[in-house]
Structure 1
Amino acid sequence: MKYLTILLVLLFFSCNTNKKISENKRNNIISELDYIAKIDQKYAGIPSEELFKKYGREKAWEIFSAKRDSVSKDNQSRIKKLFNKFGYLGFNEVGKENSTKFWLPIQHADNDVEFQKQMLQELKKQIEINNAKRNEYAMLEDRIAVNTNQKQRFGSQVTYNTNGQAIPRNGLIDSLNIERLRAEYDLPAFKEYYNNMTIMHFEMNKEVLKKQGITEPKLYK
């Protein structure tokens, strides 16, 4: 009975560690990750001008959002298959750039928070052995917080006030120590990040904001 218990423990840990990947399999995985990242980023922004012109703003967003949800679910399915077969794909398995491509659909899996939570725990293990990016851990933790209606620790997830200025979605747990926390997890300074997000939001919604009397981004001083 003692030996059976030891065997079961060994099997448990072996199933939860990253598996050895041959060069041929690695190339196939990277091709899959390239596809996943490309389609993810295609629907990460806003509808194209062509779509707006063809359908109008409201209908364009409806079509775009439906396609984005479909793409997201397909990508999640692909990532789950990769994870179940090879474990978390970090630096050692696929390199830094491709590791981010593995993380992207997890970050965007807002319809499956339990999956995000599972991957956050896996990502924590990879951080501890320097096999994943600390900022990706921080952003996923914040994403889960927002998806469960909690305040954020790092302030990576934003929304916008009536002036078009970026603000932390759901607020911050500890605003006094936010800069230290962000630096610790390789995130840009709070003011720099929020000003960049404010500028980006203004450029993407310039015509709508101008109609509201907002003629330039309102930046943090």
Structure 2
Amino acid sequence: MNTTGLKFLTLLFLALSFCPSYGQKSTVLQPELAKEIKDMRDEDQKNRIKWSKMYQKGKFDSKKFKEFTKELIALDRQNTKRMREIIEEYGWPSYELVGEGPSNNAWLIVQHADRNPAFQARCLPLLKAAVDAGQANPSNYAYLYDRVAVSKGEKQLYATQSSSNNGLTEGNFYPIAREDSVQIRREAMNISRSVEDYAASMNFEYKIPDRKEADQRAEKLKNEYDKHVAIAREKFSNQEFEESADHYLIATAAYGHVTTEDFVQAAKALSLSEHEQISQATTLLTRALARGWNGFDVLIQDASMDYLKSELPGSWEDLKLVAEQIEIDLGKD
């Protein structure tokens, strides 16, 4: 696994989201389940804290770090599998079912199930129903809503998702819908920290724009998409794949405007051009899959993916697993 491939895995799938563990009531309906969920959360956080410390010490190119990253990925898969089973049997783990702390812990496990965005999306209405019944934390819904939106390349509502990996790397908020009213929405979901303070905690600056500035930002995002995607498509048709990929990378950052076809075509351009940012191809294909794109089986046989497969074999195999899990969960809808 090279450095760019590793960055993709860590930034997309291993974003750290620490969550406090609250005390649980002794009258919960499923105390053993509550303990199991808490244990899952504790293991998740113990390993993520260790991973974060290794990253901060600059060990991300070491064999030990890469091996530990694989272990963390395996833990995520294991926890996701078990949480799917729990939700299939009990529905959303509510305060009444498991207690406030374990209910929050369940959300954290789902929040880290980035390798199965279809499962995260399936959890959204269940969590919302629990919130509406006073049986789950509203802020958890806000964070998961944004997570699902970002996984599809759509705009987020609550400014909970950024590219900074909780301050480990340089970054900023992914595009926000109706940006001037973002703080109002956060407060409505009981998110106590202001969006400016939240950004500062992740080592970047952010200031809420007024309505005029927000509209200007939104218009600029759309114009950037229209301009660059038109060039990217033309360059691709002329087989100028490197230039196509460069413009697609700009265009596909315009969340809320990018089509599923854009994501797939951009991945092809990156692979065909043997682009230095080839790891982004996996991210883009994951976004397409999260939207329910069903062309992955055909793409597996497509020669355009040969470079991606050879350069990042681990990421390609992981992408196949993502596609399999998404197919399973989409089939449940």
After TM superposition, the score normalised by the length of structure 1 is 0.71
Residue 156 of structure 1, aligned match among 147, 156, 160: 160
- Matched-pair contact (CA < 8 Å) for 2:164–2:202: no
Distance (Å, rounded) in 2 between the aligned partners of 1:155 and 1:51: 25
User: Residues 163-196 of structure 1: CA distance to partner in whole angstroms, max 9, x if unpaired?
Assistant: x665212x11121101101111111211111111
Q: Structure 1 vs Structure 2: percent identity of aligned residues?
A: 23
Distance (Å, rounded) in 1 between the aligned partners of 2:115 and 2:78: 12
| 5+ residue gaps, structure 1 | 1-22, 199-217
Aligned partner of residue 154 in structure 2, secondary structure: coil
Question: What is aligned with 2:60?
Answer: 57
- Matched-pair contact (CA < 8 Å) for 1:165–1:219: no
Question: What is aligned with 1:195?
Answer: 200
User: Residues 6-58 of structure 1: CA distance to partner in whole angstroms, max 9, x if unpaired?
Assistant: xxxxxxxxxxxxxxxxx7972211221121101111233462767998x9431
- Matched-pair contact (CA < 8 Å) for 2:28–2:96: no
Change (3 A) 1:46 1:178: farther
Distance (Å, rounded) in 2 between the aligned partners of 1:117 and 1:49: 30
- Matched-pair contact (CA < 8 Å) for 1:166–1:195: no
| 5+ residue gaps, structure 2 | 1-26, 208-333
Change (3 A) 1:179 1:90: same
After TM superposition, the score normalised by the length of structure 2 is 0.48
Q: Does residue 133 of structure 1 match 2:137?
A: yes
Distance (Å, rounded) in 2 between the aligned partners of 1:192 and 1:70: 33
Distance (Å, rounded) in 1 between the aligned partners of 2:118 and 2:180: 30
Segment drifting more, 44-53 vs 123-132: 44-53
Distance (Å, rounded) in 2 between the aligned partners of 1:106 and 1:48: 20
Deviation for aligned residue 1:123: 0.7
Distance (Å, rounded) in 2 between the aligned partners of 1:46 and 1:172: 31
Distance (Å, rounded) in 1 between the aligned partners of 2:121 and 2:114: 11
Deviation for aligned residue 1:64: 2.7
- Matched-pair contact (CA < 8 Å) for 2:29–2:96: no
Deviation for aligned residue 1:109: 0.7
Question: What is aligned with 2:173?
Answer: 168
Change (3 A) 1:46 1:86: same
